Structure 1
């Protein structure tokens, strides 16, 4: 069976995008049958020039989707794959834009009325006339063999416009739809007018998912607050019957710095992103939110953590804009097709529509927050980070630094217990490739390719021209720029690769669960740097070893052909790394580089290489004879130090409530912070007026109460009597 590539290579999981099969030309009147995942068959398209296309189908999952094609209707002898992505991550130029999304989502509530408008790129639908359709999403209970389970359903509901001119915009005045009012979440779809209403898997454009306030029943228009209150209380009653998912969620990082640095377990929530200045609609008062990358194992739930402009974690106990966990992870999780694990839709159904009912359309937000309380950060432990940078300088997870200038392929990190292997290929005193795998995940390899990093999945190049984030088998890959790649594994381990001035830096972040389960060049992670230079046999090399002894230690961590994860896709790589020993014994670096007084680089180098990390900067400047290389090394070291500062553990004493009929001054709950309490007029503060968070993670004082003067006198009398009684017992 022959393989092919497609262009474009990605599509929203809602489907409808034409995927051109490259390297194949067919007669315009020929036959093309496309089969996705071995089960979804549909007719392909052949244009006038003989270019064949398959239309991506509507799916309930993300990731690389395999498909094959037949040109005779029987033999499927050509295969390829495309990337199915979360609707919010699809190419926005292929999306139907809902103009004034706030009006769309809140239509029918006070001051929300009038005409609704949508726009799209008319050139993407090759038809002079189009249909405008509404599709709905729900999760329904299905009974099979005596048991019931939820099943995801995306269905055509009705058309807003038929056979209208394809001008790229459409407006209408929405009317209540009693018959379809039970569908409260959905999408707009634009198709050519030649297609049948509701026909699946045809070339089309989709809007983003949204709450369908604009088509709800007349009773919603008559009294939206009362309608929403009923819905909120119904949701609350349903939540009471569902399994508790909160206990299995990871705690939030305590600070914004930690949240942005812990890339193995948390990733930016694009709806509240400090880097783009997005408005945090669902978290007012926050400036940045992150989501836990992994969904919880049992329930497919997600954690969301939000921070204010001081970098402090915002909690729902203090603000409606606080961090809220999700019953359904926004990005979904395997097995994707089963609710509540459907990417995007399950989250909107279980967590967003209810927010609209309780918080946006009625005054019952306390009901919502009672079911979605912030977890806080008392149990959060930041990861440990190890790095290799510059002309092969290493800083271990426990902070030991050394230089190993070997040429070959080595274990950066190895854990047989956790089944994670991270391997490094070095050449000419530089890091060239990093390959990695955890359990049965895809093998990911990142290598330098001129001025950018190239990513391979199972020895095939991954393109990042359309997508920055990819959901793969057991691993995620995020490439925000051609010089920056982060690989994220299911365990929460992450590998960050950065390229600057031709030099690759690799940072490995490991959760504390990897303590005492790490081997390789980045050391034995146990908070003790003295045993970081541990050999395969368990022998510990002194941290004060000579450069020659360290070189021998590093060389012994070479990999074998049997254990190699690397790609050898050229004669050069085969001859240099595959056939010879994986450590080149003929290459012996210079172990010392004395600075000569008459060196022309000396003055500029010494003025540049200052402060912490100067020794690495000087070493690399001298060995490369390049100030740019030395500066790149210094910057890499400084980046690592900033990362270590961001990941410093902090102590949280946990949230404190505001006394009833009083006020709490302060919302920071970390070590050294002090909260003060006051009472409203007519009330007296009983117990502590201030409480300070101690290093042990406990608060000083006692929880205060605001009570009336009469009750205050009664309590004092009771306390005096209790003291006298206690004293009499002691006499």
Structure 2
């Protein structure tokens, strides 16, 4: 054994005990004269009315009554005036005994008592309105099944034997100790409630002022109900609430409305001898155990507090102990969930060192232990361990920062240097007390979302042994404490308007600061980014040093902008409103900072923009953005082919893995649709392309895809039609998150939403926005394939085959292993609860599903068991960590390679969507303790040839392989499993891992059903050898562990056989009733007959029909021709149209326009019929052009006529002129002579021609001035 070294010292009335380098720190024994804990001091509240504390050194009180209780004065004591804590100084116990209207169950014959509660008590997922108090040191919610120690928790023989839900403060065989005929031991209990009509605010009345001496008690002028065992005491509940909040992180919002206080006073160990000598009273009473249990709840959260005053024995004689020590098993301390849900023990449970429960504690009070137990057991307070899980006061916070984290894990010493790492940031933390430390995450420190690791160091950053997971929320989905109120009457007073007259905002003023006189600053934080970096800074303020009243109204027109950031109007046009404590918010013990939603700052910069840019400032800003965005990288070319929009709403709803509902335009949730007016539903791609862009597609109320190309270019049209457009920045952001355009929410707001405000809302020129953000078509869209497992093992495969498989255990639902994908989805199938005639159901249903794709996180979803479904229907684990989706800001969470979403209006986690980055999607729906699972696989998961290219990259010819044999499995990548083989061929759906094909019909005969069970289904069992098991069975129990592990199970194959009918069945329903109810559905009939429950059969029928319609419409392959461009004034009929194959579109013009181009176009096999694009011309312009054309044509015709007339007239004049002239004789060109001699002779002769040839002469002979006409006419040749 090693040397145990202790050192103790007092620091500020605090005892610090150092043991092996670890510290357990708590106040020393409280003296009633000291003012350390006023609520535990002797006072009119907890001792006697008018009773003064005894003077130091005296043993007699001023009224003469002996302070110490001994055997000599037992008969004379008035116990209704005595505080039983005073004698021993048990001030960390809450008041108990006769004086406080407790009931002592010692007088009951069997020494246990059922206590009916007037409220619901959540415990370990269950909810109870009753409890049983046992003298053996525990409170149970059903009679436990135990005979003698040692006890095993949980009961290994459950459900054949009960496994009781219980809270054990010191569970052991115990006895009521007597000295003579005087009983020392008592078991007290009382139920405390808060008066219904009492003020809901915290009481400012000191506990000492409350009187409990007489039954007539009042509080704040209201009479309180008082009865033995049940009282109204708001002050005591306030004290309990305060102690819980000081002892455990995350309890600040908790307020105890009800409490059950049970006190075991001076209990002896089981088998203790009876003391007959009365003079041994003082000695005997010191060697008994005294402890207390306090269960406090608000009917949502439940906390359990153990207060140990004295522990002198640890086990009973029945456990083999000798004089209360040793034995097989010491007293058990902890929580048993019951019904196989598990056991959680506290330190020294079933350990021989149970007496240390008094010396130590998880809170700042020695002997006090605390835990939260409503849903899962959360250990409260601190620990002396050197490594462990860090407890946080909140599981998530916004990416913007400016929040505080109260943490606990190790017990903090005064000399500790605390540092915390969150993501890539290292922060200094402040020690608040031994249990808690406060760490402040500043603004602008985190720019990513999802799970991050938080680590804590107590040695200045040398080691970080304490850690936990923390979720960072994107700003658009985070909880908004600052509410920007839009006036519902004066619509102009809207935070998105640029010229409101009055704006109002509110915030929870009671949480932002602990100082009631605190003042706050209301500031504006703007966001800006370019291609290189981003900026998130304070650009101005609304008010400074204003009282913290929780609301503020102002007129933006008269708002002083003296502290506006220089030239902020040039860059920052939107951001958030921040409310923070004025005086150094980081040192305030409240929340310190609150944020609003993202909002444009048109109302703040309006006058500056108008002064700097002129009256058309909005149009100028729109055009500037239009030109700037056009110079950036063309993200559309990468998005169009990678993420085409589904053509119809039905396809979008089925495509679970690739698309998810847009948060602010969801048919099942928030339906504001501010940026997509007229849409019934919008979806956004679950992942971005490499540029950071994301696809958004919206659908009208007929289910057709809305196109921005159909937008009418006027500001009125925007009120009821605004199509979904692709975003340059995905709303969720994407890796690496910290630089644009990948910053979650903020990049999307700056690049895609603010331009909508500039162009569409402020400038009225939405055409600029839609020219840069054109809706993607669906020409390249290929729908996914969906499979379904529902009811009691009923399957509908990807290719449409139906069959039933009732295996018990873990099975591969679907899997794919290829070069680019390693997908695995497994299900857990077990027998549901027994039938109404108490026989086992010879069929199974899905109670758990686990999935992983590539190296993503492993997602596990379990159906909760009976009586644990009052709050949550399922339990969800991601990489072994439990996650919840019961608050609006937790509805969508992203993890490594996977996103999980719960529908906004679903608060019980009964409908979950799991979306992997690869495009695989799951919908898990809980129904009466079972799970129905839809699996959606993208078209890339279809059967593909594994060897398309050889080692040199040349293509290979796909071999002709039949559906039988091993060739398919060897040469093809195939999606296989219980949901069949995805290759659009039903014949090989039931293919085993060995590539054997099993054939069946629907409904199957008994022989076929047996063949499917043994030759196909059982081959897909996930045994951990052939297929790795994804399930972690330690998390969730199963209905019947004994039956689940049994190898003798054989399902029923034909429930209609007479041998399967029983007499008890006929007393509940007839088989004719089954046929009428199920309307010919074999699945419904199977479930009805095997379970004997009509509601289960109807659920199966409704789910089957719903999925059939979903599969028929969602998998329908559509051919689209893409949107037809139209110009201003063109109207398209019918108005709701997706440009699909066979659709004829008719175009007309508005009354003030004329139509040009072809009036009708038809989509034929993906191509529009030939024709001209339709366009319209303004009627006045048309008239003007027609008149102009008519005038021009008339002038041209008149000019032509004039020209012709002039030409004819000219010819006429020329002819007339030529008639007055003699005829000219044309010259003769001689033939060319090749002989040079002849040529020379001809040349010589040419010089001898007569004059008439060389020079024209007048015709006729001239003689004395008169001309004689020739005898023949000579003309030119």
Determine if the alignment matches structure 1 residue 310 to structure 2 residue 671.
no
What corresponds to 1:656 in structure 2? 1124
Q: Secondary structure at the match of 2:1033?
A: coil
What corresponds to 1:518 in structure 2? 975
Determine if the alignment matches structure 1 residue 230 to structure 2 residue 620.
yes
| The one of 392, 407, 413 aligned to 2:808 | 407
Q: Secondary structure at the match of 2:465?
A: strand
In structure 1, C-alpha distance between the alignment counterparts of 2:1101 and 2:393, rounded to whole Å: 41
More moved, 285-294 vs 336-345: 285-294
- Aligned-residue offset at 1:229: 2.1
- Aligned-residue offset at 1:46: 2.6
| The one of 660, 679, 697 aligned to 2:1166 | 697
Contact preservation (8 Å) 1:4, 1:21: yes
| The one of 1093, 1107, 1119 aligned to 1:640 | 1107
| The one of 752, 774, 786 aligned to 1:385 | 786
Contact preservation (8 Å) 1:688, 1:704: yes
Where do 1:443-522 residues align within 5 Å?
443-450=858-865, 451=869, 452-466=873-887, 467-480=890-903, 481=906, 482-516=909-943, 517-522=974-979
For residues 105-129 of structure 1, give each alpha carbon's deviation from its aligned partner in whole angstroms, at most 9, with x where no partner exists. 4454xxx232332210111212322
- Aligned-residue offset at 1:571: 10
What corresponds to 1:54 in structure 2? 439
Contact preservation (8 Å) 1:387, 1:505: yes
Q: Across the two proteins, how many residue pairs are aligned to each other?
A: 692
Contact preservation (8 Å) 1:6, 1:22: yes
Query: Do the aligned partners of residues 662 and 195 (structure 1) sit closer, same or farther apart at CA in structure 2, a change above 3 Å counting?
Result: closer
- Aligned-residue offset at 1:204: 1.2
Query: Do the aligned partners of residues 441 and 681 (structure 1) sit closer, same or farther apart at CA in structure 2, a change above 3 Å counting?
Result: closer
Q: Secondary structure at the match of 2:1020?
A: coil
In structure 2, C-alpha distance between the alignment counterparts of 1:198 and 1:241, rounded to whole Å: 47
Where do 1:231-630 residues align within 5 Å?
231-249=621-639, 250-276=643-669, 278-296=671-689, 298-319=690-711, 321-417=722-818, 418-428=821-831, 429-450=844-865, 451=869, 452-466=873-887, 467-480=890-903, 481=906, 482-516=909-943, 517-544=974-1001, 546-551=1008-1013, 552-561=1015-1024, 563-569=1028-1034, 586-594=1048-1056, 596=1058, 599=1066, 600-611=1069-1080, 614-630=1081-1097
Q: Kindly name which structure, 1 or 2, has the bigger radius of gyration based on alpha carbons.
A: 2
More moved, 94-103 vs 444-453: 94-103
- Aligned-residue offset at 1:653: 2.3
In structure 2, C-alpha distance between the alignment counterparts of 1:414 and 1:499, rounded to whole Å: 23
Contact preservation (8 Å) 2:512, 2:591: no
In structure 2, C-alpha distance between the alignment counterparts of 1:279 and 1:585, rounded to whole Å: 55
In structure 1, C-alpha distance between the alignment counterparts of 2:1151 and 2:922, rounded to whole Å: 56
In structure 2, C-alpha distance between the alignment counterparts of 1:571 and 1:120, rounded to whole Å: 40
In structure 1, C-alpha distance between the alignment counterparts of 2:601 and 2:525, rounded to whole Å: 10
Contact preservation (8 Å) 2:1155, 2:1174: yes
Which TM-score applies when normalising by structure 2?
A: 0.51
Contact preservation (8 Å) 2:1125, 2:1173: no
Q: Secondary structure at the match of 1:546?
A: helix
Contact preservation (8 Å) 2:581, 2:593: yes
Contact preservation (8 Å) 1:514, 1:525: yes
What corresponds to 2:1144 in structure 1? 674
In structure 2, C-alpha distance between the alignment counterparts of 1:331 and 1:421, rounded to whole Å: 26
Q: Secondary structure at the match of 1:405?
A: coil
Query: Do the aligned partners of residues 589 and 659 (structure 1) sit closer, same or farther apart at CA in structure 2, a change above 3 Å counting?
Result: same
Query: Do the aligned partners of residues 76 and 574 (structure 1) sit closer, same or farther apart at CA in structure 2, a change above 3 Å counting?
Result: farther
- Aligned-residue offset at 1:20: 3.6
In structure 1, C-alpha distance between the alignment counterparts of 2:543 and 2:1159, rounded to whole Å: 64
In structure 1, C-alpha distance between the alignment counterparts of 2:1134 and 2:822, rounded to whole Å: 45
Contact preservation (8 Å) 2:419, 2:428: yes
Q: Secondary structure at the match of 1:76?
A: coil
In structure 2, C-alpha distance between the alignment counterparts of 1:601 and 1:53, rounded to whole Å: 66
Structure 1 residue ranges without an equivalent (≥5): 142-149, 714-731
For residues 283-335 of structure 1, give each alpha carbon's deviation from its aligned partner in whole angstroms, at most 9, with x where no partner exists. 23323222112111x21101111122222211111125122110001111121
What corresponds to 2:534 in structure 1? 152
Q: Secondary structure at the match of 2:915?
A: strand
Query: Do the aligned partners of residues 682 and 697 (structure 1) sit closer, same or farther apart at CA in structure 2, a change above 3 Å counting?
Result: same
What corresponds to 2:337 in structure 1? none
More moved, 597-606 vs 308-317: 597-606
- Aligned-residue offset at 1:345: 0.4
Q: Secondary structure at the match of 2:708?
A: coil
In structure 2, C-alpha distance between the alignment counterparts of 1:583 and 1:386, rounded to whole Å: 28
Q: Secondary structure at the match of 2:1166?
A: coil
For residues 200-239 of structure 1, give each alpha carbon's deviation from its aligned partner in whole angstroms, at most 9, with x where no partner exists. x983111112222233274423477622222222222222
Task: State the superposition RMSD in angstroms.
Answer: 3.3
- Aligned-residue offset at 1:684: 7.7
- Aligned-residue offset at 1:405: 1.0
Contact preservation (8 Å) 1:390, 1:620: yes
For residues 681-726 of structure 1, give each alpha carbon's deviation from its aligned partner in whole angstroms, at most 9, with x where no partner exists. 89986764323334x233345235569898999xxxxxxxxxxxxx
Contact preservation (8 Å) 2:655, 2:783: yes
Structure scoring higher RCO (CA < 8 A, sep ≥ 6) equals 1
Contact preservation (8 Å) 2:528, 2:750: yes
| The one of 593, 604, 612 aligned to 1:215 | 604
Determine if the alignment matches structure 1 residue 14 to structure 2 residue 407.
no
Q: Secondary structure at the match of 1:556?
A: helix
For residues 347-367 of structure 1, give each alpha carbon's deviation from its aligned partner in whole angstroms, at most 9, with x where no partner exists. 111111212222222143212
More moved, 679-688 vs 651-660: 679-688
- Aligned-residue offset at 1:132: 2.0
Q: Secondary structure at the match of 1:352?
A: helix
Q: Secondary structure at the match of 1:312?
A: coil
Q: Secondary structure at the match of 2:987?
A: helix
- Aligned-residue offset at 1:14: 1.3
What corresponds to 2:282 in structure 1? none
Query: Do the aligned partners of residues 183 and 116 (structure 1) sit closer, same or farther apart at CA in structure 2, a change above 3 Å counting?
Result: same
In structure 2, C-alpha distance between the alignment counterparts of 1:83 and 1:301, rounded to whole Å: 24
Query: Do the aligned partners of residues 476 and 572 (structure 1) sit closer, same or farther apart at CA in structure 2, a change above 3 Å counting?
Result: closer
Contact preservation (8 Å) 2:396, 2:471: yes
What corresponds to 2:456 in structure 1? 69
What corresponds to 1:184 in structure 2? 573
Which TM-score applies when normalising by structure 1?
A: 0.87
Query: Do the aligned partners of residues 493 and 570 (structure 1) sit closer, same or farther apart at CA in structure 2, a change above 3 Å counting?
Result: closer
